[in-house]
Amino acid sequence: MADSKKKTVLLIGGGSVGTIGAVNLEVGGLAEVSIILRSNYKAVTENGYSIQSCDHGTLKRWRPSHVLPSVPDLSKENIEPYDYIVLATKNYPDVPPSIAELVSPALPSSNTHTTLVLIQNGLNIEKPFLASHPTTPVLSGVSLIGSAEPQPGVIVQDDRDRLLIGAFDNPNIPKELGQEKAKEFVKIYSAGGKAECVYSEDVLHDRWRKLVYNACLNPICAITGLDSGRLRLADGAVEGLVRPAMREIVEAAKAKGVELNPKERDDVVEFMIEVDALELYLQPSMQADVGKGNYIEFENLLGEPLREGKAAGVPMPTLEVLYQIAKAVQWRTKEARGLVKIPPPKNH
Amino acid sequence: MADSKKKTVLLIGGGSVGTIGAVNLEVGGLAEVSIILRSNYKAVTENGYSIQSCDHGTLKRWRPSHVLPSVPDLSKENIEPYDYIVLATKNYPDVPPSIAELVSPALPSSNTHTTLVLIQNGLNIEKPFLASHPTTPVLSGVSLIGSAEPQPGVIVQDDRDRLLIGAFDNPNIPKELGQEKAKEFVKIYSAGGKAECVYSEDVLHDRWRKLVYNACLNPICAITGLDSGRLRLADGAVEGLVRPAMREIVEAAKAKGVELNPKERDDVVEFMIEVDALELYLQPSMQADVGKGNYIEFENLLGEPLREGKAAGVPMPTLEVLYQIAKAVQWRTKEARGLVKIPPPKNH
């Protein structure tokens, strides 16, 4: 049974980001975490996590309070509604099942108790929940962590866990409710004193700012097969691809009321071009995913800002082509995984 | 010594296209071919070519008159200047040595005797020779053959050899000279009666028309990793990428005075989208080259029409991005082959 002083957290997705989140929530003593694992469920139930973390040091055979293989069905199991459900999975709205379907067994559509926290990238990720769970507070988590899972259950965190938490707009509930939940979540996540988890008033700004990297460098590396260091060295790639794409994001954000460059001297584009220059030869997530034959998060990272910008009248020729190519790359993965079928070759 | 009734032809590049050219020239009885081989030199000198051809049937242990491992140096060897030098290699102006350097030992810069025949794709391929060999007649060869070399020295030709030959403009020599040479070359190439080798008055039209395929489907397949059949099936790829790119080529050609769509009902764009639909799942040359870790011919196929179109004021947003990506892919190959060096990773 849950410790009554602790908030119950269902954390879906115990990969490199989610696991460090689980550690922060548990070590603070204010949360009891149930983690849902898929690919690494066997490894973690047998041996626990093996974690090497710049924030937490070395943790061996570590486990949160509960480790589960699938999202529990509250209507069938004797489980009280969770205080928080944190989503730290990748997000591919173009590949079924949807995230909303995944969460539904633990989150009735009429829910008002449980707060949803989306530690996921991109734009408009809260929209499906506004439709399926109209009265649920939904929080935005923008993570700037550097962390990887080189083997199932083995987590290497080499850059600090910085997490921006704020409330997505939801016209169906009082604005203050979302803000309170966001501040409470920051408190329980920060209680251990290891993570830099900060409350943010301006969720849209956080998300558009991260898109300067994620809608541009991320797909460009995935498509060209050059990591972020090589892309900087490759003849003409920054001027020809990266900078034009980033400028389009800055203009789209501006058209949506988000000013990413308040001062010329702190140009976000030049900052993002250089941001991981210290870590030469870093593969952004989409490039790593293409390399592993995984789906890529191109719809929320590239498709949504492109659609928002175009609808606001911003010319986005570079992102348009990158988006179309990313879509074709995703189709290739869908075919490889049997999600689309092609006719046999014709004789001639 | 050369048979005095025959034209001497130095054919550089005995791969899938060049070898069938050598066969046509030899079987017609009007030419004596010296072929320059590199990767398949050993295989062909030892065992000859093994050819399976829809035009010529099965040829075993076939060799042209002479097989050479490198371009002969006329200043050092006792060889009369050739009547024709045919280039049937790939063409990468961004990777040294240049084609003009490659040919130079057999073609003095003051040459007026030898005619150069470029059976290569893309635009402005004659320009380097106008500079290095200003008085040499240069012919354009646009090949529409279907042929492959699955192993060194093994040629499988599964679609007819159709070759358009015409003279590139050269302000330094009489126009008639180029036309005469083109007609003569058509005669010796056609003499065997197997190839459909045709004289063309309008070299630029031939080249721009082929670019509708080669500047668009070819790099799109290379970049997305989808062959031409899959690209047609992939959700949105034709509308989002292929058709916009092809329309840009048609507009660029028009701006350069080349009308590719004289009649709406024969739309060249729709023709090129469907042109190899019979051969489902065909990898265009650039995609095959990327797959093999080879350089791609992106500068003449994509860079030149892009530069021509932009200089003529045509908006080419799709081809611009495809070009920049192709350039990054080429840089990746250059790094893999040691042509560019990168600094070691930094510690952090």
Q: What is the mean pLDDT of residues A67-77?
A: 95
**What confidence score (pLDDT) does residue A262 get?**
77
Q: Which of the four pLDDT bands, split at 50, 70 and 90, describes residue A282?
A: confident
B224 vs A325: CB contact, 8 Å cut-off?
yes
**What confidence score (pLDDT) does residue B347 get?**
59
Angle at A315 between CA A313 and CA A317, to 5 degrees: 145
| Ranges of residues in chain B whose predicted pLDDT is under 50 | 1
**What confidence score (pLDDT) does residue B279 get?**
67
Task: Find tokens 């990969």 and name the residue.
Answer: A15
**What confidence score (pLDDT) does residue A345 get?**
80
| Residue B294 buriedness (CB in 10 A; 0-12 / 13-18 / 19+) | middle
**What confidence score (pLDDT) does residue A261 get?**
85
Tell me the Cα Rg of chain A.
20
A293 touches B at CB < 8 Å: no
Domains observed in chain A: 7-201 (3.40.50.720), 206-336 (1.10.1040.10)
**What confidence score (pLDDT) does residue B295 get?**
97
**What confidence score (pLDDT) does residue B277 get?**
66
Interface of A with B in 164-223 (CB under 8 A): 220, 223
Task: Return the exposure string of A207-238: e unless at least 16 CB atoms fall within 10 Å of the residue's CB, then b.
Answer: bbbbbbbbbbbbbbbbbbbbbbbbbbbbeebb
Dig out the tokens for B245 from the structure.
Answer: 């790119």
**What confidence score (pLDDT) does residue A244 get?**
97
What percent of chain A lies above the pLDDT cut of 70?
97
**What confidence score (pLDDT) does residue B278 get?**
60
Give the integer Cα–Cα distance in Å for B207 and B299.
14
Give the integer Cα–Cα distance in Å for A205 and B123.
46
B328 vs A237: CB contact, 8 Å cut-off?
yes
A240 touches B at CB < 8 Å: yes
Interface of A with B in 308-327 (CB under 8 A): 317-318, 320-325, 327
**What confidence score (pLDDT) does residue B108 get?**
86
**What confidence score (pLDDT) does residue A126 get?**
97
Interface of B with A in 62-101 (CB under 8 A): none
Of A158, A156, A176, nearest to A167 (Cα)?
Answer: A176
**What confidence score (pLDDT) does residue A322 get?**
98
**What confidence score (pLDDT) does residue A277 get?**
66
Q: Looking at beta carbons, which residues of chain B come within 8 Å of A223?
A: 223, 325
Report whether pLDDT(A187) > 90.
yes
**What confidence score (pLDDT) does residue B94 get?**
96
Q: What is the dihedral of CA A285, A290, A294, A299, to 10 degrees?
A: 70
CB atoms inside a 10 Å sphere around CB A158:
13
Report whether pLDDT(A182) > 90.
yes
Q: What are the strands of the beta sheet with B146-151, ordered from one edge?
A: B57-62, B49-53, B154-159, B146-151
pLDDT tens per residue across span A252-277: 999 999 999 877 667 899 888 888 76
B332 vs A241: CB contact, 8 Å cut-off?
no
**What confidence score (pLDDT) does residue A280 get?**
76
Dig out the tokens for A80 from the structure.
Answer: 């009280």
Contact B20, B189 (CB under 8 A): no
**What confidence score (pLDDT) does residue B240 get?**
97
Give the integer Cα–Cα distance in Å for B240 and A321.
8
The residues that bridge with B146 in the sheet, in sequence order, are B159
**What confidence score (pLDDT) does residue B274 get?**
84
pLDDT tens per residue across span A115-132: 999 999 999 999 999 999
A135 CA to chain B: closest CA distance, Å? Answer: 35
Q: Provide the pairing of β-strand B162-167 with B138-143.
A: antiparallel
Out of B236, B280, B340, closest to residue A345 by CB: B280
Report whether pLDDT(A95) > 70.
yes
- In chain B, the residue whose alpha carbon lies closest to the alpha carbon of A220 is B325
Listing DSSP states for B142-182 in one string gives EE--EEEEEETTEEEEEE--EEEEEEPP-TTS-HHHHHHHH
pLDDT tens per residue across span A28-52: 999 999 999 999 999 999 999 999 9
Q: Provide the pairing of β-strand B115-119 with B84-87.
A: parallel
pLDDT tens per residue across span A192-249: 999 999 999 999 999 999 999 999 999 999 999 999 999 999 999 999 999 999 999 9
Q: What is the mean pLDDT of residues A79-105?
A: 95
**What confidence score (pLDDT) does residue A104 get?**
94
- In chain A, the residue whose alpha carbon lies closest to the alpha carbon of B245 is A321
